[in-house]
Amino acid sequence: AQSVTQPDIHITVSEGASLELRCNYSYGATPYLFWYVQSPGQGLQLLLKYFSGDTLVQGIKGFEAEFKRSQSSFNLRKPSVHWSDAAEYFCAVAPLLTGGGNKLTFGTGTQLKVEL
Contacts to other proteins by CB under 8 A: 4, 6, 32, 36, 41-46, 49, 51-52, 90, 92, 94, 97-109
Cβ proximity to other proteins, 15 vs 64, nearer residue: 64
Q: How many CA atoms lie within 13 A of 1 on its CB side?
A: 6
Smallest separation (angstroms) from other proteins to the CB of 16: 29
CB of 102 to other proteins, least distance (A): 5
Shortest reach from residue 21's CB to other proteins, in Å: 14
Cβ atoms 33, 72 nearer than 8 A? no
Q: Which is nearer to other proteins, 52 or 70 (CB)?
A: 52
Distance, CA of 87 to CA of 74 (rounded, Å): 19
User: Cα separation of 3 and 25, whole Å?
Assistant: 6
Name 56's bridge partners. Answer: 66
